[in-house]
Structure 1
Amino acid sequence: MSSDDAQVNDHVRRAPLFAALDDEAARELRATMEEQHLSRGDILFAEGDEGSTLFVVTEGKIKLGRTAPDGRENLLGVLGPGEMFGELSVFDPGPRTATATAVTETTLIGLGHEDLDKWIRGRPEVAYTMLQSLARRLRRTNEFLADLVFSDVPGRVAKALLDLARRFGVQGDEGVHVTHDLTQEELAQLVGASRETVNKALADFQQRGWIRHEARAVVLLDVDRLARRAR
């Protein structure tokens, strides 16, 4: 196995779909999945498309978004290696509820409804781990809705930065370096606010010495202060 293959398998093993499987079963399931490559800006599927395939990110980042009737866009999340999406259409085949777009050069593996159904029926532990994943996603959605009602924009920005750091951050000498690969507009869509308001919050955080801006990245210099602001 090459080092690249080993890295992909490490990412795959982190996905809820594979978490309950032993190595042999994981390799067997991986062999049934089709790989896809996307460039930045490529749309994997659009909101309203018919679909019955779930995907696991093995490299890069995918954003999931929805568009309101008036054209406003909202990001539901940004997913990286080891994270899974599209499973709703597997359990309940029908229109996609979001648009999936590549944020960077991205590699994915996909599993169709029929193949997944065979695995779930033969291995209840797979179904259980996927239900846990769906429950966590529902919990995050409930938290996001509560934040929209009870938290101000700076609080939501702080919480989003901490979440991005948890999943994409690398600890360095100065702080946590987070390459989120998002534009300012996309970051604003992620917290459900205008770009101007989000930029004002980020500028305030930087002035206080909590963060430092970089191109499509941020360094968290004072995680504790951000965590207190996110509450």
Structure 2
Amino acid sequence: MPEAPQGSANTTREEQLLRSSPLFGGMDAASARSLIAQMPRREFSKGETIFNEGDEGDVMYVVVKGKVKLARTARDGRENLLGLMGVGDMVGELSVFDPGPRLSRAHVVEESVLYELPKATLDAWLDEHLDMSRHLLRALAQRIRRTTNTMADLVFSDVPGRVAKAILDLGHRFGRMERGHVTVRHGLTQEELAQLVGASRETVNKALADFASRGWIDVHIGSVEVYEPDRLRARSR
């Protein structure tokens, strides 16, 4: 896990990406820069593990390049994908507010750059910027809101609806407009996509095949092309 120099040509661009994170939402430029200056830059290779479930943790990360999977292992050894994190997302943030064993494993999907924020650094910074606490509370509230919505979907939505919503969410976060439609290179296997929506692989494959037969999407290994987002949006409700 090598550390790259802060003075690289990409520093300004990466600072802009950091500022897009909920962690810095609403902060003035001077306050944001003073915190970013204390965050070490880390580079991770594809397949590298950032932390494991059960590790003691008091550090969080913000993604500025690449993707990170969050997963948890069941008692029978099966792995459950909890989320796919991308640029601007926070990883392991609970540990800076409630230090203790990690609840999940963070695994790098592709070559990634993350900025590290230890609890000690954040605590010292907050001592000098007490008015910034509300921004951190807002960032945590946004994560709780997202988790609550996910739980509600598991209870109230059928599998095709959850699959449609997952495709739209992945498209919003990782999609690119290409040749008049959105291409979403998420890097997930169909099994991982099934884990993400809380359903069996067979049921999810059936939903994907149905959407494809209607001309709404086209499915490839690790990606999906979206042609009819409005149809997916209507199906996700």
Coarse TM-score class (shorter-chain normalised): over 0.9
Q: Secondary structure at the match of 1:107?
A: strand
TM-score by length of 2: 0.91
Counterpart code for 1:166:
H
Counterpart code for 2:202:
E
Equivalent of residue 200 in structure 1, options 194, 201, 206: 206
Which is further off, 23-32 or 173-182?
23-32
Q: Secondary structure at the match of 2:43?
A: strand
Residue 187 of structure 1 corresponds to 193
| Equivalent runs, 1:32-111 vs 2, <5 Å | 32-111=38-117
RMSD: 1.7
Asked if 1:123 is matched to 2:129, the reply is yes
Residue 134 of structure 1 corresponds to 140
- Runs of 5+ unmatched residues, structure 1: none
| Equivalent runs, 1:126-165 vs 2, <5 Å | 126-165=132-171
Deviation at 1:5, TM superposition (A): 2.3
Counterpart code for 2:222:
R
Percent of paired sites with the same residue: 53
Q: Secondary structure at the match of 1:36?
A: strand
Residue 226 of structure 2 corresponds to 220
Which is further off, 22-31 or 156-165?
22-31
Q: How many angstroms apart in 1 are the aligned matches of 2:196 and 2:223?
A: 15
Q: How many angstroms apart in 1 are the aligned matches of 2:193 and 2:46?
A: 16
Which is further off, 171-180 or 151-160?
171-180
Q: Secondary structure at the match of 2:110?
A: coil
- Runs of 5+ unmatched residues, structure 2: 1-6
Q: How many angstroms apart in 1 are the aligned matches of 2:21 and 2:132?
A: 11
TM-score by length of 1: 0.93
Asked if 1:22 is matched to 2:28, the reply is yes
Q: Do the aligned residues in 2 keep the contact of 1:17 with 1:126 (CA within 8 Å)?
A: no
Q: How many angstroms apart in 1 are the aligned matches of 2:124 and 2:234?
A: 46
Residue 173 of structure 2 corresponds to 167
Q: How many angstroms apart in 1 are the aligned matches of 2:94 and 2:66?
A: 22
Q: How many angstroms apart in 2 are the aligned matches of 1:190 and 1:181?
A: 13
Task: Kindly provide the CA deviation profile for residues 2-21 of structure 1, in whole angstroms up to 9, marking residues without a partner as x.
Answer: 76223211111111222333
Which is further off, 174-183 or 93-102?
174-183
